[in-house]
Amino acid sequence: MKGLVCFGLVILSMAMSACHAPSNPVVKTHEYTIEQKCPTLKNMKVGEVLIFNVSENPSTGYQWQLLEPLKIFKTEETYLQNNSDEKAVGASGTKTFRFTAEKPGQDYIQLVHVRAWESSQQPDQKWLCRIRVS
């Protein structure tokens, strides 16, 4: 009888711990750099993240920008200056774009390396990615 009660308690505790398991599954992240081309059509699912990292030196006037707002992605931009150049004027760093798929559909990420005041100029560099989210 004592063994049966212990067995029941073990089963009950396992069931309780399953109820308290983390509900956040691991989010799939797709990472790219300027050297990596995006596939012709990138397939993603809602909740997945696409990250684009690229070197940038804003003191030159050139910065990476999203050409047009996206409809199905949440977009976040960050810039982190290189540690070795903390006190240097005109130091370079890394620009990171984080795109989180919020709803199904298709969108076209167009990132360009331009000077803001030269809008008629062709971009120095660009990175493009057509994405379908399901």
Task: Tell me: pLDDT of 3 over 70.
Answer: no
Residues 6+ apart with CB under 8 A from 89: 59
CA gap 49, 74 in Å, rounded: 9
CA gap 98, 34 in Å, rounded: 14
- The answer to whether residue 114 sits within a structural domain is yes
pLDDT in tens, 111-130: 999 987 876 678 889 999 99
CA gap 74, 14 in Å, rounded: 38
**Residue 38 and residue 128 in contact, taking contact as beta carbons nearer than 8 Å:** yes
Query: Helix or strand or coil: residue 15?
Result: helix
* From 9-23, 40-54, 83-97, the region with the lowest mean pLDDT: 9-23
| Domain span including residue 128 | 26-133
CA gap 31, 100 in Å, rounded: 12
pLDDT in tens, 56-100: 998 888 999 999 999 999 999 999 988 765 566 778 899 999 999
Task: Tell me: pLDDT of 10 over 90.
Answer: no
pTM here? 0.76
CATH of the domain at 67: 2.60.40.2020
Residue whose entry in the numeric block shows the structure tokens 């057509």: 130
DSSP state of 67: S
The 3 state secondary structure assigned to 9-70 is HHHHHHHHHHHCCCCCCCCCEEEEECCCCCCCCEEECCCCEEEEEEEECHHHCEEEEECCCC
Report the run of H or E that residue 120 belongs to, with start and end: none
How many domains are there within the chain? 1
- The answer to whether residue 70 sits within a structural domain is yes
